[in-house]
Structure 1
Amino acid sequence: MKEKKQWMCFRKQVWIQLSVITIFILFGLDCAFRSSGDLRLYESYIPHENQTAAIKQGKVRVTFLGTTSILLDDGETQILTDGFFTRPSLWKTAFSKIESDQGIILSVLQKAKINHLKGIFVCHSHYDHVMDAPFVAKITNAKLYGSSSTINVGIGSGLNKENMELFQLGKPVKLGKFSVTVLESKHTPPFRILGKTNATDPNFPNISSPLSQPVKALDYIEGGTFDFLIQHGKNKILIKSSTNYVTGAFDKINVDVLFLGIAQYSLQPLSFQETYYNQTVKKLKPRLVIPIHWDNFFLPLAKPLEPNLRLGDDFDSNMNLLLQRTSKDQIQVLLLQGFESIDLF
């Protein structure tokens, strides 16, 4: 009888301990998969505009389409970075193969009025940048510009070779009144989530053969990261998709508007944070900074954008760091919602 009581007591203690551990695990997972920020804290930085009037001659309008998908339009010519619209769920991305949803792509093209697109420039060849680009190019008959990895994604998607062009660093590409110069850059420093890393395997640095969907997200290899210097008349724009820098790359460049990648900005060492700001915002001297790559791209673009998950980012800290520094330098910051359009100049 005594042994039976001891056994029952032991089982009860084990059950309590397992219950506590389970609660802690579930609580931790719940926190990890929550948004890493509250957009209501930044209402004063969100213009809440949706320009629908015809674009006046000489003006340039931008429409933000989530992650690093940026549409520039002067009323005659449109250019786009990335064009990642499908945005498969976290669970599908993590545990199965993914592919472009042409229905979603068509709906975004229609809603954003992408009807005179001439060029798509892909920042790098991870899936959240390149996956949909070939299909956007097919539908719109725009030319796809990218690295050899991006070109192989295009070939695997059945895009005609005449509709693709390999990046030529430093050589301006003329599209209407736009001039786009591709600059070599660096990807956000490697990180690990749920045991998986985004670091490039040095033995497989590029997508070396045509990549046909559906495939696993990890099959999309970075293949080099690039920034885009865009000139329209006297005005200049710099699009920097990744939170990293090449020392001295912007020593001789000033711009009016900087689209700045802020993903994982605050998770980097303090020395990196300071240098990143100094090598981008300080050097470029923009009058306006627009943060990009801040939203949770596992959620549909059709819904209002939400900040990245706590699992791999800290949106509030990223924004606070940026706002502290830009406030001292008297630089305006605007945070755009999905499909939000403003006239840049």
Structure 2
Amino acid sequence: MAAIEVQNLTKTYRVYRKRDGWMASVKALFRREYVTVQAVRGVSFHIEPGEIVAFLGPNGAGKTTTLKLLSGLIYPSTGSATVLGYVPWERAHAYRRRFSLVMGQKNQLWWDLPALESFRLHREIYRIDPAEFDQRLDELTSLLDVKKLIRQPVRELSLGERMRMELIAALLHAPEVLFLDEPTIGLDVVSQRRVQEFLREYQQRRRVTVILTSHYMKDVEALCKRAIIINEGEIKHDGPLDEINERFASHKLIQLQFAGSVIPPGLERFGRIIEEAPPRVKLEVPRNQIPEILAALLSQYPIEDVGVQERPLEEVISEFFTRSTPTDSNRVEAASR
């Protein structure tokens, strides 16, 4: 049985739209105008136990709304979902003990108290056996290298240290499903890498089922083999991460190193020059013309080394989101009373 099963999940919000000007304000006293925002549109997917999946999309695509639905924080408009056999929005106590939601922009720790005090509160809330609590706390603080910081007030910790404490709090009750919403947002490169390494090692040890949303493609590439892309509230891709380039990128990169110390002229006719560092140059060329372009380059220029690369995943996904930016007409329906 799938750990997470989602079928035609939809969430809409009815939001009051205020017009500019005092006359509009007076009219609104008698007749208000509303808009129906479709945050999630008929989303369907399933995730197997122990799988870690990237859930990608631009701001406003419906990622966080979907995670809130699966966490039982909000109710869907239509559709169905089960996580570990439970319907999330029924909010069964047994289900609450088996998942965790970590949001990079939300804090669950007491700001003025040491993190250890928040951990002890979690022990009481989840009724964790004291011996198990001590063992898990020791394991998590060791993996995240924060043993010396858990008695320090949270407000005195750096952003990266606080994020590691948030992860500990989320994992103390040993959840089987973990929803991670931007866990490395705002962190420096060192802190990002430390969180990535921890999540990879912990997931391999515990075989936790993970849904990860992140705007940092380094997180995704370090942790996930499968990606679900959502945009305009709809699933646009669900499959292996390495298929994204094949599906959405129309170009590849050819890196050339010429004999001598200069770059010969005339390369523009083969593709767009995106980087020059004599005697090296990088061209962006149509992926369906790679064989012909390579044959022509090798026959016309003294080339010492050549390589073909996919474009960076971040660029490909960013361009896809830009091409399919939603408009007011397909995201919003007006309603009034």
- Report the TM-score, using the length of structure 2 for normalisation: 0.27
Which structure carries more strand by proportion?
2
Larger Cα-atom Rg: 2
Which structure carries more helix by proportion?
2
